[in-house]
Structure formats: structure tokens, C-alpha cells
Structure 1
């Protein structure tokens, strides 16, 4: 039986919101297997940590978290149709389950973050279920920030050399030359010699002091086709705090088309750059050391009917010494195999953030890259995974 402990807290009316709120000025604790559902706003002015149960935010309208003491929850469920707005941050120590609605944080407020602690993870993220504002991590080395704006999930994948004591990230669908919630201007015409263009439509703000590589993705709204005719020229670009200009942060790998793809940077220190975005490399400074050619697009249907049950590339018969890597649409690597033949059957074998990995990867479009060491050739393409 689930146990729920109530200690000094009470309801009061909030004129600004025209609805009641739960006010905690005591020491509420949710015990193991316990649960509490917030169907109204939460004002937290006392310690709210060491919880082991589930805290759910449920509403057909919007909810908010306010107060002076950041609450910490073990498991969290978000089912607020019009979003959960954080005037005060939340710390999550285990799982966040996105069901309905975004978590929203003010982009102009540095202390209002949804913070994933060392062992925390999440599931259910999507275009309508994400963090619209700042997501943060504490004591994590690698993480995919489930950030975006009101319309799209636009995650940033962080791969750090060591554990980050603290890092946070938000996505902005606006011109970096005229940011609405950040101090300064990041002129898209101020470019290092090895950059031809940078996006004037979107950018990410990433904080962290550990050398890291990041992966960014693009979609049709990103307008990459307005910047280049070759997707392989896309790089990650950052606004240097020292140089006061956009600098090329590299591309390794880059995969996709002008409409959809992803790129991974070289290692850099995020705190040395105000913001980062997608850029286009300038000849002769190409992001890839070897030409990237295209193979066919593939259909993989893992339903046991003996037809297309595995990902098979006939060309690899001429190059048994190879490396195959498969990424999801946001650039998260889900599969890697040296000397590949036909091992991919829709199951991830890498990636710490694949939820329910044993159940198989979601249906959809994936990117693959192939390095044929025998022929010294790089290839890339798409596959569609069905079940």
C-alpha cells in the first residue's frame, strides 16, 4: 500500500493566479512507494527533500512552483496540459516522466532550472513534452538536455571529458544578434575565417566548465538550405567571449540532409562561449577529412517475417574491416559495431539514456555512418525502422 505523510502545510488563495496553492512551511516527506499529487500551485518555503516516492503535477490548466526553498523529488510525473511553470527550480534525484505538457522556466532567471541530479533520468520527451527553458545537471558526465521551445523538442547532447559539477542549457528560437533574454548581442556577421555563415534563426545557451563535445540537430525550420547546398558543411559554431566573434567548433560526425540531420562538435569549454548554434564551414576549411559519399536509404522491419529483419549493407562484403554507427534524429548514438555484417535488429547497444532499451528502439528515421577501412571511404545514409 502506498504511504503518504502530510505535515504542516495548508492551502491559501493567490490573487495573481486566481486559484489556490499548496503552501509548505513544514517538513513534508514522501516515503518509499508513497505518492502525492499536486493539482494546484506549490509554494515551497521549507526543506522538501529526501523523498523516495512519486510527486505528480496534474492539471487541465497550468500549474506553478514558487517559494524560497528548491524542492527535491525522487520520481516526478508531469501531466499539466498547459504546462508546469517554475518560478522556483526543482531538483530531481531519480526519474522524470513526461506525460502531458511542458516544464517551463523563465529564460531570464538564472536560478529557475529543472535540475537532474547525479542519478536522475527521464522518459516521454517529445515536441509537446519537454523543458521549455533551462534544464540543468549536477554531477553528470554525459547528458541529453530535453530542451526546446513551444513548438519543437530541440535537444542538446553533452559528452564531457569528466563529470560536470553543474551545467545547464536552454534553446532559443530567435536571432542570436538580438537575444530577448540574454545580455549582449552576438552578431551573426562577425565570423572567424573558417566560417561562411551561422544561423540567424536559433541558438542554444550552454553553461559548463568541463571540456565537452556537443551534438546539435536541425529540422526544416532551421533553414539550413538557406545557408548551404551541402549538409556536410554544417558545423557547430560558438560566440567566443574573448574573440567577440563566432568560431568554428568543428563537426565530427555530421550526417543528414538539408531538411534534417545532426552534427557533433570537437571538444571545447562551454563557459568560454556565450551561445552556440549551427554554422557553415568555409572552403578550404572542410569539417570532414575524407569525402563522404551516400549509400542507399534502407527499410528495416523487425517483425520476424524474414524480410528486412536486419540492417544489411551489401557493400560491406567488399570491406569486412569496417565501423558502422547509427544515430537517432537528434544525434544520439544508439548502435556501434566494428566489422559489421547484419547485427542491427532495432536494439540499441550504446547510449546511457535510451529508456527501456530492451524493448527496442522507437519506430522512425535513423542516420547511419559507415567507415570502410579497407577502402578508406566514409559513407552515410538513412534507415527507417519499422515493427
Structure 2
């Protein structure tokens, strides 16, 4: 690795008041393979299209990048006890190395961003070093935005159907109904009836005119487990529709994890049609059975003829005469299946390879069951222990 040339510029420039920093009025350039370390503000008022080399930001004081013309860098890195504040866009053609400190942008001006050009990439992103505010991409189709707030990295991955000329993204750990960083608000109570709850913890802003899928994640700070009746299966991606001014369902193509930590990939949508996106849940069904039975639970079965737990009795099945029960062993093999189940299972297989062992019945152990209540459009699953 080439040693960095650390230069501290203290040039006084008149903007009505004195301002110290490196001032480029057209006489400054970075030659091929040069490495420049900035410990002061960058004021760029002329063309600055660095074709090679590195311009890094270092030191223990905040640095401001300002001026009338956005600089274009080849490589850059940040290793600071403070942050780099962008008052105009900064374009990066090759690599950004995040080490320590954040690139900050105005949270209410998406046009001021840290922009990755068509070959730009980054390394080292973390809770301690990322973009707090808006990051952008140019002519890209797949990209993970290294965005977050002051405390955490909260990336969003964009997978566009084709290269998007421009996409801009930011993350906010704020209540969408009353954000403090932007002028708009997105009332979490204003939503289509197919949404149960919209989180009041966080949201992303993403703008792109090309249809795309996004992947966003949650962690303990997201507190999805605090949403009433939330389950992993109930989590959905929702967006604030610009046309209807309400939260609507964007939908899920994939989901993984649990209520503490996980991720979800949306269905395909046009990001610019939505002012914000975040997590929501599908509503709890309003029928009595579903409200009173968010889960059917686990069961114990001991078919020994003593009249106690001899049969698998699932309370409430009579409310949906059109139902089905399937039972699987620990290897995933289906051992029992019954359409319109009425408490017949007592430990004997009626399907699969174990049906031949009718005399001895199914072996002792843990089994998985799946109940479908067609009349109520509900599905439940759980475990039962078969005791011999």
C-alpha cells in the first residue's frame, strides 16, 4: 500500500465571511496514483474530476464539503473521530473505504448525496462508518445502499429489472407519523384495510423509476415483536403511496428469520411511486375462532386405552367442517392425513411407509401437524408428542 500524503490546507477564502479549507478554483488536481489526506474542509468551485488515486478524509474534527460544483473522486476513504458533512453531492467512480466516521447529508435534500457511479463500490461499512442521509447510484441494477442512522448501519438492497439511471436511498430511525428529519409525515394509522399495523420505529426513503425488488432487514431495535399478534408470517413490506396518500401493501417474495432478527424481500414495485417504505403486518382475522385461537398449540397423546389423551382432540375444528389434518414425523414423512377430521387419530399411520406397522402403531416421539380450516381460510401448525 502506498503511503498517504497527509496535507493540512489552511487557505482563507472570501464568501462574505472568512472560511478555512482547501479551496479549488481551478488550479488543483490529483495526478495518477497520488494519495491525498484531507484534515480540513473542501470548498470546490471548479471542475474536480479525479481520474486516479485517493482523496481521504482524516482527523479529529468535522470536515465540510461545499462549493458550487460537486467533486468527482476516484477512490476515497473516511477515518475520523467525527464526520464528513456534504453540502453538495460527491461522486465516487471507484471505491469508498469506510473505516471510521460517517458521511452525512441533509436529510431533507435527496439531491445532495454520496453518489456511486456506474462502477463504484465500497468496503468496510459498519455501525461506525456508513452514509447517514442519502446515498445514490447511477446506471446500476443491483446495489446494497450502505445507509443508516447515527447508531446503526441499516442497509437496503435494490434489485432492479434493468439498470436505473438514478436511485437515491436513506434510512430514518424515526416514527413515520412524526419524523424530525424531514418535512413530510406518513401517518401509520392511515392505511388500507388489508394492513393490520405499520411500525412506528423506522422507515426508508427510496426513489427510482425502474421496477425493482428491495430487501430490508429488522433487528432487536426494530421491535417487531412488540406489535400485537405479530408473527414472522404476518410481516409484510408496506409503502406510503404518493397517489392515494396512505400506506398500502407492496408484498413479500421471501422472508426469513424470527421476530427478533430477519429480512424480507418485497414483490416488484416502482419505488418512486412511494414516499416511504417500512414493515407492516397483515391484520388479525376478525372471526371469533381466529381471535381466540392465534395458535392451536402443542398436544400430548398417549393411546393406551385409559380414556385420557387416547385421541388427538383439536378444539374448534367443528367450526370449520371443511378441514384437513396432516401429521409428519421428524424426517418430514407424512404418516397421517384426514379430510374433515373429527378426532380420529390415535397413533396409527394411514399413509406412507409406516402404514404397515398397524399392530404396534407409530413409534414414540415428536410429530409435526398441519391443520387447514377451509371455511375460515386459516392454517395452523404445531407439535404433538406421542407417548407409548
- TM-score of the aligned structures, taking structure 1 as reference length: 0.69
Which residues in structure 2 correspond to 1:1-387 (within 5 Å)? Answer: 11-12=11-12, 20-227=20-227, 228-282=229-283
Q: 1:29 to 1:316 in 2, by over 3 A?
A: farther
**Shift of residue 58 of structure 1?**
0.7
**Shift of residue 239 of structure 1?**
0.4
Q: The residue matched to 1:122 in structure 2 has which SS?
A: strand
Q: Are the counterparts in 1 of residues 10 and 20 from structure 2 also a CA contact under 8 Å? A: no
**Shift of residue 14 of structure 1?**
8.5
**Shift of residue 184 of structure 1?**
3.1
Q: Are the counterparts in 2 of residues 86 and 103 from structure 1 also a CA contact under 8 Å? A: yes
Deviation track 1:3-48 (CA, whole Å, cap 9, x = no partner) reads 999xxx9712799999731110014332221111111111000000
Deviation track 1:335-381 (CA, whole Å, cap 9, x = no partner) reads xxxxxxxxxxxxxxxxxxxxxxxxxxxxxxxxxxxxxxxxxxxxxxx
Q: 1:221 to 1:4 in 2, by over 3 A?
A: closer
Off by >6 Å, runs of 4+ in structure 1: 1-5, 13-19, 315-318
Counterparts of 2:211 and 2:202, CA distance in 1? 23
- TM-score of the aligned structures, taking structure 2 as reference length: 0.69
Counterparts of 2:181 and 2:270, CA distance in 1? 22
Q: Are the counterparts in 2 of residues 29 and 51 from structure 1 also a CA contact under 8 Å? A: no
Counterparts of 1:194 and 1:16, CA distance in 2? 56
Q: The residue matched to 2:252 in structure 1 has which SS?
A: coil
Alignment RMSD, CA only?
A: 2.9
Counterparts of 2:102 and 2:241, CA distance in 1? 31
Q: Are the counterparts in 2 of residues 63 and 80 from structure 1 also a CA contact under 8 Å? A: no
Bigger radius of gyration among the two: 2
Q: Are the counterparts in 1 of residues 10 and 40 from structure 2 also a CA contact under 8 Å? A: no
Q: Are the counterparts in 1 of residues 65 and 86 from structure 2 also a CA contact under 8 Å? A: yes
Q: Are the counterparts in 1 of residues 12 and 18 from structure 2 also a CA contact under 8 Å? A: no
**Shift of residue 179 of structure 1?**
2.3
Q: The residue matched to 2:216 in structure 1 has which SS?
A: strand
Q: Are the counterparts in 1 of residues 156 and 216 from structure 2 also a CA contact under 8 Å? A: yes
**Shift of residue 272 of structure 1?**
0.5
Q: 1:83 to 1:14 in 2, by over 3 A?
A: farther
**Shift of residue 224 of structure 1?**
0.1
What is the total number of aligned residue pairs between the two structures?
288
**Shift of residue 214 of structure 1?**
0.5
Counterparts of 1:245 and 1:92, CA distance in 2? 36
Counterparts of 2:210 and 2:83, CA distance in 1? 32
**Shift of residue 281 of structure 1?**
1.8
Counterparts of 1:32 and 1:81, CA distance in 2? 28
Counterparts of 2:222 and 2:42, CA distance in 1? 37
**Shift of residue 88 of structure 1?**
1.4
Counterparts of 2:253 and 2:18, CA distance in 1? 51
Q: The residue matched to 2:272 in structure 1 has which SS?
A: helix
**Shift of residue 50 of structure 1?**
4.1
Q: Are the counterparts in 1 of residues 13 and 23 from structure 2 also a CA contact under 8 Å? A: no
Q: Are the counterparts in 2 of residues 117 and 138 from structure 1 also a CA contact under 8 Å? A: yes
Q: Are the counterparts in 1 of residues 230 and 281 from structure 2 also a CA contact under 8 Å? A: no
**Shift of residue 245 of structure 1?**
1.0
Counterparts of 1:16 and 1:100, CA distance in 2? 33
Q: 1:243 to 1:26 in 2, by over 3 A?
A: same
Counterparts of 2:284 and 2:52, CA distance in 1? 55
Q: Report which stretch shifted further, 59-68 or 228-237.
A: 228-237
Counterparts of 2:137 and 2:245, CA distance in 1? 27
Counterparts of 2:197 and 2:165, CA distance in 1? 33
Q: 1:316 to 1:130 in 2, by over 3 A?
A: farther
Q: Which has the higher contact order (CA 8 A, sep 6+)?
A: 1
Deviation track 1:293-320 (CA, whole Å, cap 9, x = no partner) reads xxxxxxxxxxxxxxxxxxxxxx9998xx
